[in-house]
Amino acid sequence: MEKKKVLVVEDNDLNLKLCLLALRASDATILVARNGDDAVVQVERENPDLVILDIRLPGRSGIEVAKAMRAMPTLKDVPILAVTACAMPGDKERILAAGCNYYIPKPIDTRAFPKIVHAILAGQIPPLPC
Ligand code: MN
């Protein structure tokens, strides 16, 4: 089977480290972008199987990255897993409306996270947390 490719978009060092640790067990090739503009460049170039997307980013926000991807024919169906510390009313709706398929709150649950990633790479979107 061909290796899956996962792009992690995260500007915070600690969150990135946690995310990469949680992904260690997956057999995927991991790519990293540290800001929204680089994320857009990399999704176009790499055509990943999954994008794990922080929402608060320098430059283009995660919301803008998701919208940009959904506007591109080759990237409109690539699963996006949003990771967000936002807890304001309406944030969840805003994230899903931008085209993200799933979201998890920060700090990431390092036990649940790999299962969610695995399910999405297997073509299943698990039920959303409330
Ligand atoms: Mn951030």
> DSSP per residue over 48-97, as a string?
-SEEEEESS-SSS-HHHHHHHHHTSTTTTTS-EEEEE---STTHHHHHHH
Which residues make beta-bridge pairs with 16? none
How far is ligand 1, taken at its centre, from the CA of residue 62, in Å?
Answer: 9
d(C-alpha 81, C-alpha 53), whole Å: 6
Bridge partners, 50 (sequence order): 6
pLDDT of the residue at 91: 85
- Asked if 98 and 63 touch (Cβ cutoff 8 Å), the reply is yes
Which residue has tokens 């640790």? 21
Q: How far is CA 112 from the centre of its chain?
A: 15
Distance 88 CA to ligand 1 centre (A): 15
- Using the mean position of ligand 1's atoms as its centre, give its distance from the Cα of residue 68 in Å: 18
Ligand 1 geometric centre to CA of 52 (Å): 12
The pLDDT profile of the chain, 130 residues, written as one tens digit per residue, is 679 999 999 999 999 999 999 999 888 999 999 999 999 999 999 999 999 999 999 999 999 999 999 999 999 999 999 998 866 778 889 999 999 999 988 888 888 899 999 999 999 887 776 5
For 112, what's the count of Cα atoms within 13 Å in the CB-facing half-sphere? 11
Å from CA of 18 to ligand 1 middle: 13
pLDDT of 38 reads: 98
Ligand 1 center to residue 58 CA distance, Å? 7
Torsion angle of C-alpha atoms 14, 113, 38, 88, degrees rounded to 10: -80
pTM for the whole structure: 0.94
